[in-house]
Amino acid sequence: MKKFFSLTLALGLLFLFGCTKNWITPSTDGSMSGDQQSEVTRQTYESKTNWFAMQFPGDWTFEENVYGSSVMFFTPLSENDELKENVGIIKQDLDKAYTLDEYYEITRPELVNLIPGFTEISNETISINNMDAQKIIYKWTQWSTELQREQVYLIKDKNVYIATYTATEKTFNEFVQKFDEMTATFEIK
């Protein structure tokens, strides 16, 4: 059991880095005003093999089946970025149907063991499309870079879906709203 959760967490920890831009929804005719044209519309990503869908900013790219994730979304890289922020989604089969609390109690010690300097900032239950989800924000230092991550996980039946946003600690607050907007659109099919 412990090896199973270690593998799940290890896969979830392999996400890369980048930066994000603002996004908006175009008007009903698809047009944007002059000051909105620099903003980006949303696109929808759907995984037919892992049975989920979500919206993401239209100027981001994505790659499937990379670094142990089902999909990773990458933001455009600006010239001053230290790291490229990203959002990765993994789906893992569980050996039974866990509650969010049970899953957290099993995975938190693994996070502490796998991430040197792991410091939990917050932990709360949220709702995404009428499903309870767990949102955890934590930080750590890797190769002298201070990093911060928000993970949101949903459990349906015997599957856990983990969405992870990773940034440097100094840029985390600039882009976390985009991640929250993305996860708010997450649907399990």
pTM of the full structure: 0.79
Model pLDDT for residues 139-165, shown as the tens digit of each residue: 999 888 899 999 999 999 999 999 999
Residue 30 counted as domain residue: no
Angle (deg, nearest 10), helices 100-114 and 2-12: 70
Q: How far apart are the first and last CA of the chain?
A: 27
Residue 161, domain extent = 2-20+42-188
Angle at 73 between CA 25 and CA 102, to 5 degrees: 100
* Residue scoring higher pLDDT (118 or 39): 118
Q: Which residue is listed with tokens 């939990």? A: 120
**Domain count of the fold of the chain:** 1
* Rounded alpha-carbon distances, angstroms, from residue 52 to 2, 45, 151, 167: 26, 8, 17, 24
Say if 32 falls within a structural domain. Answer: no
Q: What is the pLDDT of residues 9-19, one digit of tens each?
A: 443 443 333 33
**Which residues touch 127 (CB under 8 Å, ≥6 apart)?**
133
Domain with 152 in it: what CATH number?
3.40.1000.10
Nearest to 162 by CA among 16, 1, 6, 11: 11
| DSSP letter assigned to residue 147 | E
Residue 26 lies in a domain: no
Q: Is 29 a member of any domain?
A: no
